[in-house]
Amino acid sequence: MKAPKYQWQPTTAEIAAAAGISPGEVERFDHNTSPFASDWAPVAAAASLPRLNEYPGADYRALREAAADLNELEPDNIAPGAGADELILLSGRAFLETGATAVAATPTYPLYEISTLQAGGVFNPVPAVPPDFSHPTDEVVRAARDADLVWICTPSNPIGNTVTDDDLATIIAATDGLVVVDAAYAEFNDDTWSDQVDTHHNLIVLRTLSKAFGLAGARVGYAMAHPDLIAAIDAIRPPGSISTVSVDLAVAGLGSSTRMAQTVEAISRARDELATQLTALGLRVLPSTTNFLLCEVGSNAHKIAGQLIDVGLVPRKFPADGPLEEYLRFTVRTASAHSRLISALERYLQ
């Protein structure tokens, strides 16, 4: 079966041109990135600039050590990657053979299916039930018993909820296959899972610096796992997919957990305020432990998304034939951006 193509969102410049506004007036409520500029980054990147004529060290030792220190692990528990996305694709290539089965609760991040199919595997979706889309742990456990790999997104994208520690332990125990936990939003829920990777030799935990660390443009992530699993990922990992500048930015970011925690606190507070405002408009806002909110808008969700985009406010909409057809997702942005969004929704929801 041919793997589906990942659907890229229009660029900010393209949206601005279509709306007849400047790119600075476009607010990306669809990307789940930090609203805060990484104003510390130029200093961190400066030392790299004279070395751009050379390739980065392919072992990325400094990045492994920084991630290991933050998570109280050893460097051989860490595999670097160009964002969690590269590590999702590498996990499929490393651990799935033709005809192998991978399981995931859906709706979820589409790259899990793409990774599975690119490796020649079979993707087995386990639907979560609306309207709350709680994680279908019992059903996932049943499917996991015969699976070669189980994808778990926690906190969930696009729902925003979390798989509990007990449920994760149940799933890990139920399968002889590999369990890959995509923990891209873990900082917003105080999750690490790092203490589990030496206990469970079939567990890989993926982390990213794109969300809480504010380095989406640098494209850096890492996997945490038993050294045997890390070695399998390293065996197929490209030798230079992370730039020298990105490595230095990542090492500086990982070394400042206080700054990251302050960012998470500010975003979480703004998320709760935005949830209150959206609820006051009559939308059903699903509980979230992430930096975004999923809202049930109704049958006119796609129409409203188009109206918002026309004024430079870009929500995340979902396929018209899927379970989230009547939902929109909004990333937490600044107070002024929220004000624009609420004012626009007040007009379009009438």
> How far is it, in rounded angstroms, from Cα 39 to Cα 181?
31
Q: What is the pLDDT of residue 5?
A: 74
CB atoms closer than 10 angstroms to residue 230: 23
When pLDDT is cut at 50, 70 and 90, the band that residue 192 belongs to is confident
Structure tokens given for 107: 């709706």
* Start-end of H helices in 281-334: 301-310
When pLDDT is cut at 50, 70 and 90, the band that residue 117 belongs to is very high
**Per-residue pLDDT tens digits for 21-68:** 999 999 999 999 999 999 999 999 998 999 999 999 989 999 999 999
Q: What is the pLDDT of residue 4?
A: 74
Are 154 and 180 in contact, with CB atoms under 8 Å apart? Answer: no
When pLDDT is cut at 50, 70 and 90, the band that residue 189 belongs to is very high
What average pLDDT does this structure show over 61-83? 97
CATH topology for 12-30+258-348? Answer: Aspartate Aminotransferase, domain 1 (3.90.1150)
Tell me the angle at which helices 301-310 and 12-19 cross, rounded to the nearest 10 degrees.
Answer: 80
Q: What is the pLDDT of residue 254?
A: 97
Architecture of domain 50-255: 3-Layer(aba) Sandwich (3.40)
> Where are the domains positioned within the chain?
12-30+258-348, 50-255
pLDDT of residue 1 exceeding 70: no
Q: How far is CA 87 from CA 9, 31, 44, 127, 215, in A?
A: 21, 19, 24, 24, 17
Structure tokens given for 102: 């991978």
Q: What is the pLDDT of residue 3?
A: 73
The pTM (predicted TM-score) of the whole model is: 0.96
Q: What is the pLDDT of residue 135?
A: 96
Pairing type for strands 101-106 and 327-331 reads: unpaired
> How far is it, in rounded angstroms, from Cα 301 to Cα 106?
20
Mean pLDDT of the chain: 96
Angle at 225 between CA 224 and CA 226, to 5 degrees: 145
**Per-residue pLDDT tens digits for 267-277:** 999 999 999 99
**Per-residue pLDDT tens digits for 131-172:** 999 999 999 999 999 999 999 999 999 999 999 999 999 999
Are 183 and 206 in contact, with CB atoms under 8 Å apart? Answer: yes
Higher pLDDT, 1 or 25: 25
pLDDT of residue 250 exceeding 70: yes
Pairing type for strands 78-81 and 221-225 reads: antiparallel
Q: What is the pLDDT of residue 59?
A: 94
Beta bridge partners of 181: 152, 205
Angle at 36 between CA 259 and CA 154, to 5 degrees: 75
pLDDT of residue 177 exceeding 70: yes
pLDDT of residue 2 exceeding 90: no
Tell me the residue type at 172. Answer: I
Q: DSSP letters along 50-85, please?
A: GGTTSPPPTT-HHHHHHHHHHHT--GGGEEEESHHH
What average pLDDT does this structure show over 207-223? 97
**How would you list the strands of the sheet with 292-296, edge to edge?**
284-285, 292-296, 327-331
SS3 241: coil
Q: What is the pLDDT of residue 188?
A: 97
Are 159 and 294 in contact, with CB atoms under 8 Å apart? Answer: yes
Tell me the residue type at 276. Answer: T
pLDDT of residue 6 exceeding 80: no
**Of the candidates 193, 204, 175, the residue with the CA atom closest to the CA atom of residue 81:** 204
What average pLDDT does this structure show over 113-127? 97
When pLDDT is cut at 50, 70 and 90, the band that residue 288 belongs to is very high
Q: How far is CA 226 from CA 89, 171, 197, 219, 232, in A?
A: 19, 18, 6, 23, 10
Percent composition of the chain: helix, strand, coil (DSSP 3-state, to 5): 45, 15, 40
pLDDT of residue 109 exceeding 80: yes
Are 1 and 119 in contact, with CB atoms under 8 Å apart? Answer: no
pLDDT of residue 9 exceeding 90: no
